[in-house]
Structure 1
Amino acid sequence: MTAADYRVIDYPILLALSPVHIHSANSESASDTAIKKYRFLVDGFYDYDPTQRVHVSDMEEAMLETIRKREEYMHRSDSDFVVCTYECAHLPAPDTPSDASRRKAYEVIDDKWLDENAIRLFPRRPLATLKEGHNVLAVLTVIPLSRSTLPSSMVSEVNELPGHIHREQIAAAAQKRQSPSTGATLAQRLQTQNPRRIDAVYDGRPLSLMGPSITIYHTVFANFLKRMQESRHFTSDELDVAQNFVTQAAAYHGDGSKRHTELAPWTNKGVHAHFLRHTPISNSVGKFTPDGAVFASRETHDGFRALISAAELKTELGEGSGDPNAQAENVYVAYYSSREAQSVRDRSCCPALLIGLAGPTIQVSGAVFADQLVVQNLGDPVCVVPRLNTTGRSMLDDAGHRVAQLFYALRECLKELDDYYAALIQSITVPKRHLRSVGVMPGRPAPTSTGRAGLSPPPPMISPHFAQYKDDEGKSVTLTYTARLARDYPVKAVFVAEAKTDTETRTVVVKFTPAYCKDAHELLARASPPQAPKLRFCEFVESVGMWVVVMDYVEGKEVTNVLQDPVHIKSLEGAITALHADGFVFGDLREPNVLRVDDKVVLIDFDWCGKQGTARYPSDILLEEGAWHSGVQRGGLLEKVHDGFHFHALTGMKLPSV
């Protein structure tokens, strides 16, 4: 093949700079958004044979070789660099071929520019699929030296700040938001619900803002779902309250004030006296009045009471200036991002229930402040309009029972949260000297804090509530969480923890997942040598509502390119062959799930793994072109030939067993 037959990609390499805060103001308030800027570093060149299977990751590896030749990076390791490659609709054109001209031309590129003009390229995307006359650019992020000493792990640990500092940055940004009512409008939601904003709420809108299941942080959320499914005999009083609520909620009311007046007596009798009661709140964030607010019965030493539920009401669906669910969400953010909330925020995920009422419909959500602000719907909305059913009850009788069930679940969960905050506040050390009140009490302005001397130090991170289990020998094991992994993927819930018994302490990885193939994992963990981390615990835990998987922490390197070492190729072949021989298909045999550990390969993710002929792919699989076998479909059966496709992509070789 002659040089003329090769294709050449000439692309700029930009260096990611620290985010800058862009301040914008309007007549009512101001917002603060972190925007990441980029600076031209050097031009990259990559030539390849288009007849060969060459991927974006191959080009990125070649780029790193270029970067490592620069004097300032000669002593840095591969783990100190993160590369993202983009295909752009166009690139800014330098006036001259000089570096100075390039730097000036590329000054326009920031996060917003990339969002509007580029798509990120998947590492396994074949270069041959890029459009002719492609406009490619690469962004290099250099990890600070303070992070370069972190051990390599199963998935990248990318949070470079201690957990409490990161959360305080979120709180500081959230304090600059507009009022909860204004913030619930579409115009404001388009601004605040941006993944690039540190204070964005991970509520699933847009889908890029999906966080980990909130059930991992507090038991109340799984308990709410469980209580909504309980078979229960309701008292006459409960059904009387429920039917009166149905009558008023199903009626049309001229305005929100009238609807609030008619519904409040029944919610406040059936759930809590303050469930729907206008409650003025004044704190360091501002003044706002939710349509209902329930506070913990016990206050902190400085007068702060935790918010355990917030409710917002609209006359009808589509009426009013905003979504009541979004407004309740904003009330939560405004309350728990305040300076007054810090003593609780430092030590808690701040669990609360949020209720949005619009016309005859009620939506209950759960909220936590963990690594992100996360809000998730707790089941489907409850609509009180009588409907057809198969319960053996009339339509109206069924509506009453559904409301009685909802009121019961809310009532019990509010008690659970009140007990939780009482215990939390009890655990906070009372300061030696008296501090005058800085608490957020309904209607009370917040004076300046005189300090927080004497408070117990906050934990290093806000951790999942699952903290103890029994091992195979019946010994009690206590978990102390030390870090969250895979923060590039907010929906994933994977943590590093220290697992301690009365005789030893070991480092483990704790994973929370909706499904897991324990049998397949154990099959490879028992192999000689082991080709999966040793399982310490793997069960569906009701208080979490998910599978909890505890496994040994494995030091290894992710596969970021085609495997070259014959030993690693043979090891991977052995692992997949063993699974296939037992009827399993791994399903997701891609780079992040394959680790090189010395002279072997270890598989680490068995979420999709299952028996051929029964296990199916999830509907949310990202079917990116070139990344999957052509037979892979949403909801389709897992096939061994699909593993063979990924094996070839990882090794360049055919899997003998398929």
Structure 2
Amino acid sequence: MPSPSRQPNSQHLRSYGPADPAPIVQINWVLFDRVRNPKFRVCCFEILKEQTEHALMTLVPRMRKEIHRWQKYRVDLTSIEFYTPVTDLLAKGIRNKHSAVEDVGSGDKSHVHLLVSAEEATEEEEVMEEEVDIPGELPQVHTIYYDAFLSLVKDTDSTRAPSKRAVSKEYAKIQKRPDIAICDGYFVMTSGGRGPAVVTLAPPVQLFHPVFGKFVSDVSNPNFVPDPAVVSLIRDLTSTSAAVHTDEHVFSDQIRPQLTGLLNSVLKQVLVNEKQTADSVGLKALPRTNCSAALVLSEHKRSLGEGGCDVTRQSGLSLLNWWKQRDVAVIRDRCCCPSFIISIAGPWLCIFGAVLTSKFIVHPLTEMLSIGERSVFEESRQLRLARVFTSLRQCLAQLSSYYDTVDEGQNIPPLQPGLAHPRFFPYPTSFTDPEHGKQTFEYTGTLNVRGADVTFMAELKSGETVVVKFVSRYGLAAHRVLAAAGMAPQLHYFGDINGEDDMTDGYQEVLSHGLYEGPVKMIVMEYIQEKRFKGDVYPAEVKASIRKALDTLHAQDLVHGGLRPPNVVVTLEHKVFLIDFDWSGKEDVTTYPLGLSSKVPWSQGVGDLAPLKKEHDIGMLETMF
């Protein structure tokens, strides 16, 4: 369809066809978004005839669901606007996969009735209408991942210099585009100031390859012993970085051999595409595929903010350029391309981990480290840096071995639309069950098609469908109490993401000033097939079952803390299960997290870092169900 012209319409549907009353009316609509819907695909849904007599804004919740169903992104309810086509537009190729009504009734079904515009919701705005994808739709989910990956690697704007694109004005253009935005946390506000134009949060890189978790663990461990060879080389780096350099090329030429020695890996200045170079890259030659993998990439600036460019952004863009090259396509398409990044700006250094899934994810693994000599007492800082580079040296060796296995290509499925591929999912694929020993599983999809989702569907070798979820804080005690009572999914595993260290018995969550301190954990639990209720109207017996579950928790002085419709699963038999115990815990001990959504009608007393109360659960039950 050509780009339609439009005029605002915030009142009623434009009428088409005969005026005879009909029980069901088909609404043809087009998302007016040249990025998300470049061909202006027409979709439709059905409503009761009497609803056409109401204000259009009554369709906003339904439209939000339809946009998510067809365009696969969640929108801010307050941003949805309706327009009427200025001229009649034929609705060719309407796709209506969910109609259950054979005779749609009166009304001209050949025209577009509505043009719709909407902005993507922020993370906190997505809490009201979370939906679960059913297994039958999973091939479509994999196609979405595949299409997103292709859009990213085929972006033609990458021929421009990363140093130019990393300037804030240019970087904003990248972060506004959902097809190429980098998941590094940098975001651009919507014009209305409601939140990010594109959500740039993502699961931590530690979930996609164990080498990143090892690095984070090593550098935070005061007992980790640095390599004596690294210790002896550290002072050269601290001295060089503290000097004031007037020539960036001279600075890079001095830093590069020092990094080579510290990492025991040859770093060279190399082309990352046909025109652009990166200051230092450590490559792994892969003979079977005739490719080279970038184990580590480093960009150097003489000082922070030199030339108005953020060296951390420049480093990420340079690495992405490397992986987008056609010459490395074979190895790129087999894995999530784990790499390290070292960003250096004079006497400052930061190390990142990066992976290429359906998005390019770049996360800091250290804070911005001061590496230049500053006082007469430098040994404690030098020791810290020696630990960092010793761990990084070991991790690069592990990455080198990993890419050897990728080069061999054994047991790696092809990257194709509609097929599950390991690049899109976390690396853990097994856990130890106290009763059945080691259990392996294969990811089949995600419960929500969002870049930041950390809850996945998987299948055990036995054929059982399970849910695999990754969490930081979690109310294990509350989950176990309700699981024992048959009111929560049964747990198969709770513990370290390595799948071997089960923490179910004796687990104590540690909160410091209301904030969780500790590693990411993996949960494997049974999958519960749920029933949907039209209009989200819950029968009285369902509400009574929810109250019974709450009473069971409260009898143990436990509070759920996040009671909302997305966290209640009702089966076809109307059996009720509570899920998502991330915030659950002891009354007056456990606290709510920071950043509670302002869109949720919380019970009185609920707030950031406020202690959990039993009355909060009861209030949410009365408000939300």
Please confirm whether the aligned pair reaches a TM-score higher than 0.5, indicating the same fold: yes
The amino acid across from 2:257 in the alignment is P
CA distance in 2 between partners of 1:630 and 1:587 (Å): 13
Indicate whether 1:313 and 2:273 are aligned.
no
Pairing of 1:333-412 with structure 2 (within 5 A):
333-385=320-372, 395-412=377-394
Deviation at 1:402, TM superposition (A): 2.2
Structure 1 counterpart of 2:594, from 583, 606, 619: 619
Question: Structure 1 residues 566 and 360, CA, compared in 2 at 3 Å: closer, same or farther?
Answer: same
The answer for the alignment partner of 1:607 in structure 2 is: 582
Secondary structure in structure 2 of the residue aligned to 1:211: coil
Question: Structure 1 residues 532 and 224, CA, compared in 2 at 3 Å: closer, same or farther?
Answer: same
Pairing of 1:623-638 with structure 2 (within 5 A):
623-624=598-599, 627-638=601-612
5+ residue gaps in structure 1?
1-8, 22-32, 49-55, 68-77, 126-142, 389-393, 430-454, 652-658
Question: Structure 1 residues 632 and 590, CA, compared in 2 at 3 Å: closer, same or farther?
Answer: same
Pairing of 1:130-529 with structure 2 (within 5 A):
150-151=135-136, 159=141, 161=143, 163-173=145-155, 178-194=160-176, 196-206=177-187, 208-230=199-221, 231-234=223-226, 237-275=229-267, 277-282=268-273, 286-296=274-284, 298-385=285-372, 395-428=377-410, 457-458=414-415, 460-462=420-422, 463-488=425-450, 490-500=451-461, 504-527=462-485
The answer for the alignment partner of 1:540 in structure 2 is: 496
CA distance in 2 between partners of 1:629 and 1:164 (Å): 41
Question: Structure 1 residues 62 and 320, CA, compared in 2 at 3 Å: closer, same or farther?
Answer: closer
The amino acid across from 2:398 in the alignment is E
Matched-pair contact (CA < 8 Å) for 1:164–1:460: no
Matched-pair contact (CA < 8 Å) for 2:241–2:347: yes
The answer for the alignment partner of 2:544 in structure 1 is: 570
The amino acid across from 1:496 in the alignment is M
Secondary structure in structure 2 of the residue aligned to 1:413: helix
CA distance in 2 between partners of 1:36 and 1:201 (Å): 25
CA distance in 2 between partners of 1:416 and 1:631 (Å): 49
Q: Deviations over 1:115-158 (max 9, x none)?
A: 79x99987869xxxxxxxxxxxxxxxxx9xxx998548xxx997
Matched-pair contact (CA < 8 Å) for 2:239–2:373: no
CA distance in 1 between partners of 2:403 and 2:123 (Å): 45
Matched-pair contact (CA < 8 Å) for 1:561–1:650: no
Question: Structure 1 residues 289 and 426, CA, compared in 2 at 3 Å: closer, same or farther?
Answer: same
Deviation at 1:620, TM superposition (A): 2.5
Deviation at 1:165, TM superposition (A): 4.6
Secondary structure in structure 2 of the residue aligned to 1:649: helix
5+ residue gaps in structure 2?
1-9, 14-26, 92-110, 188-195, 501-518
CA distance in 1 between partners of 2:551 and 2:291 (Å): 60
Secondary structure in structure 1 of the residue aligned to 2:307: coil
Deviation at 1:34, TM superposition (A): 6.8
Q: Deviations over 1:228-271 (max 9, x none)?
A: 12324446543331112111111211121222133233222111
Question: Structure 1 residues 571 and 172, CA, compared in 2 at 3 Å: closer, same or farther?
Answer: same
The answer for the alignment partner of 2:7 in structure 1 is: none
Matched-pair contact (CA < 8 Å) for 1:386–1:398: no
Q: Deviations over 1:37-58 (max 9, x none)?
A: 587989965869xxxxxxx9x8
Deviation at 1:578, TM superposition (A): 0.9
CA distance in 1 between partners of 2:112 and 2:125 (Å): 25
Deviation at 1:172, TM superposition (A): 1.9
Matched-pair contact (CA < 8 Å) for 1:309–1:355: yes
Deviation at 1:457, TM superposition (A): 3.3
Q: Deviations over 1:91-116 (max 9, x none)?
A: 7688899999xx99976x656xx579
The amino acid across from 2:154 in the alignment is A
CA distance in 2 between partners of 1:560 and 1:157 (Å): 26
The answer for the alignment partner of 1:53 in structure 2 is: none
Q: Deviations over 1:258-293 (max 9, x none)?
A: 221332332221114433x322344xxx33210010
Question: Structure 1 residues 316 and 559, CA, compared in 2 at 3 Å: closer, same or farther?
Answer: farther
The amino acid across from 2:420 in the alignment is P
Question: Structure 1 residues 329 and 34, CA, compared in 2 at 3 Å: closer, same or farther?
Answer: farther
TM-score by length of 2: 0.76
CA distance in 1 between partners of 2:445 and 2:337 (Å): 19
Deviation at 1:200, TM superposition (A): 1.4
The amino acid across from 2:441 in the alignment is L
Deviation at 1:89, TM superposition (A): 10
Question: Structure 1 residues 85 and 460, CA, compared in 2 at 3 Å: closer, same or farther?
Answer: closer
Deviation at 1:496, TM superposition (A): 1.0
CA distance in 2 between partners of 1:569 and 1:290 (Å): 60
**183-192 vs 211-220, which deviates more?**
183-192
CA distance in 1 between partners of 2:336 and 2:240 (Å): 35
Pairing of 1:31-180 with structure 2 (within 5 A):
86-87=77-78, 110=117, 114=119, 150-151=135-136, 159=141, 161=143, 163-173=145-155, 178-180=160-162
Equivalenced residue count is 541
The amino acid across from 1:170 in the alignment is L
The answer for the alignment partner of 1:587 in structure 2 is: 561
TM-score by length of 1: 0.72
CA distance in 2 between partners of 1:90 and 1:20 (Å): 16
Q: Deviations over 1:319-362 (max 9, x none)?
A: 12522211111122112223333322222111000111111111
CA RMSD of aligned residues (A): 4.0
Matched-pair contact (CA < 8 Å) for 1:596–1:602: yes
The amino acid across from 2:358 in the alignment is D
Question: Structure 1 residues 119 and 510, CA, compared in 2 at 3 Å: closer, same or farther?
Answer: closer
**350-359 vs 176-185, which deviates more?**
176-185
The amino acid across from 1:291 in the alignment is D
CA distance in 2 between partners of 1:151 and 1:40 (Å): 21
The amino acid across from 2:232 in the alignment is D
Matched-pair contact (CA < 8 Å) for 2:413–2:421: no
CA distance in 2 between partners of 1:168 and 1:360 (Å): 38
Structure 2 counterpart of 1:15, from 25, 29, 39: 29
Matched-pair contact (CA < 8 Å) for 1:158–1:485: no
Question: Structure 1 residues 588 and 537, CA, compared in 2 at 3 Å: closer, same or farther?
Answer: same
Indicate whether 1:640 and 2:614 are aligned.
yes
CA distance in 2 between partners of 1:640 and 1:199 (Å): 44
Question: Structure 1 residues 225 and 255, CA, compared in 2 at 3 Å: closer, same or farther?
Answer: same
Secondary structure in structure 2 of the residue aligned to 1:295: strand
CA distance in 1 between partners of 2:474 and 2:563 (Å): 15
Secondary structure in structure 2 of the residue aligned to 1:159: helix
CA distance in 2 between partners of 1:495 and 1:40 (Å): 28
State, as a whole percentage, how many aligned pairs show the same letter: 23
**340-349 vs 581-590, which deviates more?**
340-349
Deviation at 1:551, TM superposition (A): 0.8
Matched-pair contact (CA < 8 Å) for 2:557–2:586: yes
CA distance in 2 between partners of 1:647 and 1:217 (Å): 37
Deviation at 1:79, TM superposition (A): 7.6
Secondary structure in structure 2 of the residue aligned to 1:260: helix
